[in-house]
Structure 1
Amino acid sequence: MGVRVSSSNMADKKSPKVHKILLVATEAQPYVSVGGAGSVIGHLSGALTGLGYEVAVFIPKFGLIDEQKYPMKMAMEGLAVPTDDAINPELVCNVKYYENGSGVKIFFLENQEYFEKRANVYGYSDDPTRFLLLSRGALEFVRRGGFVPDVIHCNDWHAASIPFYIKTLYKNDPVLKNISSLLTIHNLAYQGIFDHRHVSEMNFDDGKSVIGSIFSDRVNTLNYMRRGIIFADAVNTVSRTYSKEILTPEFGEGLDKLLSELKGKLFGIVNGIDYDEFDPATDKLLHKNFDVNNIELRSENKKALQKEFDLPVSSEKMVFAFVGRLDFMKGVDLLTTVMHHVLKEYDVQFVEVGAGDWSLTERLNNLKNEFPTQVGIHPYPNFTLPRLVFGGADCILYPSRFEPCGIVQIEAMRYGAIPIVRNVGGLADTVENFDTIKQTGTGFLFNEFDEFSLFGKIIRAAELYKNAKLWRSLQTNAMRADYSWEFSAREYSKLYETTKNFHENPHRSFSALEGLTNL
């Protein structure tokens, strides 16, 4: 994996066949954002507009959305959304819209019972009903002329029924039959609300049968990701490596054989970050601003970070950090085990920011209690403290079991914090192992998910840190890497064109197509 840099020669025009894009999702930053997908939708839509596309986003109108901050207008009143239920054949919704400063129209599907009266975005027993309503609502809005795109860009299982509906219930619709569908898999581990790893034969969903009433108990056992993969014109993951990994049993979450059969329409595009928002030269959340030309000023942020966590202040002492969700997927259990050995043998510090699994929180508490002058933890959600961590820590640790993309390592590199990551998914796509002879690379990667591999890379980083010249070269490389949304948007531009071509010239078997994983 080479360091990605901006290219002025790369075509930045929108594709000739595709002009209008509709992104359908459950969240979009800044209106509602729970996970990484919300950030993707918010930034990608703006970057696509910058390429000349007419872009709209379609999400539920949750009650937690601030209508004072985002005043909405009525786009379509009294939209009757079919439910395929004999007793209650339709749900009446409204569609409102807000147009942001970048020219993206945000459409909100308004329904009191399923969206506005819910305190949370996810986590309800009727989530399949709620998101089938979102999907059918988006299609009905489109077919009635609310916004007619060339491509509907569906995100995760919540919108994955859209390609199924287009190719089945709406296959003869004069509007929808001409629209291409792209499914983006942000995390294959989520395929619905059932346990896809232990599904019984009685409840197994082949992905092709009729969905039926959105109120039936059956919708809770359907595999929406499977349906989207089968019926979408094209499918992509949020990194190239992950798009290849999910073809294997280890990462395929039970869909590896299906994905292998359809691999000709599977692609990978890595996520980006907003380089204007994440800019250490202007970031007001930092104690001291700096850029690639005066990295030495970072030491002031390290001191502020140490004070924040009540640790001994020393600009010479190496600081390791973890920022993110406390999840076994992220390898936090491995991280705490290895840091116990590191802290016992080396005079370094470790800080953590992020909430999640209670057992992992307990492991962090134990680490803090055993090494009170070396460890600082904040096991709670926090949206400002991570910036200080990025701007002050020397290394960010991300030993994930699997990682569809990962954004933290990109944000950290932008601020000169060096990533130590496992060589999987988006981590492999965005971090290049540092070569001390050539002085190329942006971080440290290890292959095996075990204590020895992670420990070895941490010690390598600690030893390299003692060589100020080499460490500065590594930081400079990391800060100059380009993972902006403008680059990713150009990749999506190519994929939209491919999606349209696949829709117009469908293949009977995609398994015969090779070499299309990389655009």
Structure 2
Amino acid sequence: MSKLRILYVASEINPFLQTSEVADFVRQLPQGMQERGMEIRILVPRFGLINERKNRLHEVVRLSGINIAVGEEEKPLTIKVASIPNAKLQVYFIDNEDYFHRKSVFFDKENNFYEDNDERAIFFCKGVIETVRKLGWTPDIVHCNDWMTSLIPMYLKTTYKNDPLFKNTKTVFTVYNNPFKHKFDGDLLGKVKMMDIDDSMLVNLQSADYEGFIKIGIEYSDAIIKAEDGVNDNLNTLLEEFDSEKKIDTIEKDDNLLDSYFNLYNELVS
């Protein structure tokens, strides 16, 4: 069997940024899969809290220069890269001055949720796919983590379904207990839309909130994983809505974690 190619997408990764358990998970799992012979790529946003000089980020000019449409606007995409210390792994960072240069992640200094977090997520999800296209790299699995990555499975099954790079790609979506209470104003569905996406495909996103993003991620993914730690009742209720149509697994954080994911990826591809 040729080595599997796994793309990990998340909002954070250690040691560059940690605000939740996502950062540790996305640090450990890719290395474990690489050590089992898989080929790995990792993409995260370049939030302003990430110190470029300290972490030795540098721009990848050949990958930068794409414009990403978010609603009526187009925003330039910059790609930066850095290596994880003591690991043979590189991390690609999606950057844009308007969306990611503020010195915080999702909340401002007064703990208000940023009104444009929906646009930041849309830009990031589209930017991830366009970056992989520019790399010319075909992922067998795209493993999306948390709400900010939840549009990627839908885009891959609609707008990009005939792209030779993605025609056989499977998606995994891991749901974490990182909810927010904000409801997005404005034309969220209009901003999310791309070619081959109409309103009927976005019903689960109509609530324009955290649950909407999670539901759209679940709907279009090939495998759904519930992060083990402290999933609250609201999230469990939401996941139960999909019980009849989707298999939702919990992979325990024990000695067999890496083996469980290794087996999951191989099952999906075969």
Q: What is the match of residue 140 of structure 1?
A: 130
Q: What is the match of residue 28 of structure 1?
A: 13
Q: Distance in 2 between matches of 1:129 and 1:490?
A: 36
Q: Distance in 1 between matches of 2:261 and 2:42?
A: 16
Following superposition of structure 1 onto structure 2, how do residues 82-481 of structure 1 map, counting pairs within 5 Å?
Answer: 82-83=69-70, 85=71, 87-88=72-73, 90-100=74-84, 101-116=86-101, 118-123=102-107, 124-145=114-135, 147-187=137-177, 190=179, 193-194=182-183, 208-209=201-202, 220-221=208-209, 223-239=212-228, 252-257=236-241, 259-263=242-246, 265-271=247-253
Instruction: Give deviations 1:301-338, integer Å, cap 9, x for gaps.
Output: xxxxxxxxxxxxxxxxxxxxxxxxxxxxxxxxxxxxxx
CA contact (8 A) 2:106 2:117 kept: yes
Q: Distance in 1 between matches of 2:180 and 2:267?
A: 25
Amino acid at match of 2:49: L
Instruction: Give deviations 1:117-151, integer Å, cap 9, x for gaps.
Output: x2211121211111111111001111222543211
Q: What is the match of residue 395 of structure 1?
A: none
Q: TM-score, normalised by structure 2?
A: 0.80
Q: Distance in 2 between matches of 1:186 and 1:240?
A: 8
Q: Distance in 2 between matches of 1:158 and 1:47?
A: 24
Amino acid at match of 1:121: V
Q: Give the alignment partner of residue 54 of structure 2, picking from 58, 61, 69.
A: 69
CA contact (8 A) 1:21 1:53 kept: yes
Change (3 A) 1:105 1:181: same
Name the SS of the counterpart of 1:228 in structure 2.
helix
Q: Distance in 1 between matches of 2:99 and 2:37?
A: 35
Name the SS of the counterpart of 2:225 in structure 1.
strand
Q: Does 1:19 align with 2:19?
A: no
Q: What is the match of residue 66 of structure 2?
A: 79
Structure 1 unaligned residues grouped into runs of 5+ = 1-15, 196-205, 213-217, 272-482, 502-519
Change (3 A) 1:250 1:224: closer
Q: Distance in 2 between matches of 1:18 and 1:151?
A: 12
Larger radius of gyration: 1
Q: What is the match of residue 32 of structure 2?
A: 47
CA contact (8 A) 1:128 1:219 kept: no
- Percent of aligned pairs sharing the same letter: 27
CA contact (8 A) 2:174 2:224 kept: yes
CA contact (8 A) 2:6 2:140 kept: yes
- How far does residue 266 in structure 1 lie from its aligned partner after superposition? 2.1
Q: Tell me how large the CA RMSD over aligned residues is.
A: 2.9
CA contact (8 A) 2:3 2:37 kept: no
CA contact (8 A) 1:182 1:232 kept: yes
Equivalences, count: 246
CA contact (8 A) 1:141 1:147 kept: no
Amino acid at match of 1:71: R
- How far does residue 228 in structure 1 lie from its aligned partner after superposition? 0.9
Name the SS of the counterpart of 2:238 in structure 1.
coil
Instruction: Give deviations 1:187-233, integer Å, cap 9, x for gaps.
Output: 2x6378439xxxxxxxxxx9822899xxxxx7944711101111101
Q: What is the match of residue 335 of structure 1?
A: none
